């Protein structure tokens, strides 16, 4: 008699995974329909469970939405943003960091959908917008600020308005992300090319004349 190979998932293991599964299903429902049109039973149906099971872990639709947003934000933001792993001059590291941030923001579906939900529901749930800033925007701006300050101290970069306002460096990332949300299927753009042009333009103002990139 052949023994069945493999370990059956225990009830405890299934219960431990259930909140994660519910939050993933909730993301798909809220992303597709928005907050108002999504019903808790829709989330349950997607998983083949009862509505009561969802409420066992998340007592209200509002709690489910907020926990979904934080869960999705945390998983999407779980990417290297530290500048320690980047190599090259300050200008080269700034360029690399901006392109990484662009790829993680504009080209990641989950991040784009979270941006859409932030815009749609932010006035009702301001803490959700704060969460997005804390997990996505603040780390990138902090890394850019550190690189610019390093470049100014070393003499590679000039201390001008762009150096004092690192938001300028990252501004196009969010513009492209919003454009893709609104017009991707009707007015497509080459976001990567726009980022390259933006970086070249900004860096030409930051670099000392002797350091201008060719």
Q: Where are the domains of the chain?
A: 11-60, 76-206
Residue 68 near residue 30, CB atoms below 8 Å: yes
Confidence at 67, pLDDT banded by 50, 70, 90? very high
Query: Matching CATH topology for 11-60 and 76-206?
Result: no
| For residues 69-92, average pLDDT | 74
The CATH number of 11-60 is 1.10.10.60
Measure the CA–CA gap between 128 and 71, rounded to whole angstroms. Answer: 11
Q: Which fold has domain 76-206?
A: Tetracycline Repressor; domain 2 (1.10.357)
Least confident of 21-30, 36-45, 60-69, 136-145: 136-145
List, for residues 154-211, the tens digit of each pLDDT value. Answer: 999 887 766 677 788 888 888 888 888 788 788 888 888 888 898 888 888 788 765 5
Q: What's the pTM value of the predicted model, to 2 decimals? A: 0.74
Least confident of 52-56, 82-86, 206-210: 82-86
Collapsing DSSP to helix, strand or coil, 157 comes out as strand
By CB atoms closer than 10 A (0-12, 13-18, 19+), residue 135 is: middle
Q: Report the range out of 5-9, 149-153, 157-161, 174-178 with the highest average pLDDT.
A: 149-153
């Amino acid at each position: 008699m052949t023994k069945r190979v493999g370990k059956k998932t225990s009830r405890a293991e299934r219960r431990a995974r259930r909140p994660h599964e519910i939050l993933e299903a909730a993301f798909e429902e809220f992303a597709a329909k928005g907050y108002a049109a999504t019903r808790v039973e829709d989330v349950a149906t997607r998983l083949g469970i009862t509505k009561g099971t969802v409420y066992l872990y998340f007592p209200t639709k509002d709690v489910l939405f907020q926990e979904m947003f934080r869960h999705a934000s945390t998983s999407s933001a779980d990417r290297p943003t530290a500048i320690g792993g980047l190599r090259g001059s300050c200008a080269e590291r700034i360029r690399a960091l901006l392109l990484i941030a662009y790829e993680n923001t504009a080209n990641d579906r989950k991040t784009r959908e979270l941006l859409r939900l932030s815009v749609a529901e932010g006035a009702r749930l301001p803490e959700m917008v704060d969460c997005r800033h804390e997990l996505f925007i603040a780390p990138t701006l902090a890394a850019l600020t550190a690189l610019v300050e390093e470049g100014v101290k070393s003499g590679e970069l000039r201390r001008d308005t762009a150096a004092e306002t690192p938001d300028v460096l990252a501004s196009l990332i969010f513009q492209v992300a919003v454009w893709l949300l609104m017009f991707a299927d009707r007015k497509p753009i080459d976001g990567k090319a726009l980022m390259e042009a933006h970086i070249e333009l900004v860096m030409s103002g930051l670099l000392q004349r002797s350091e201008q990139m060719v």
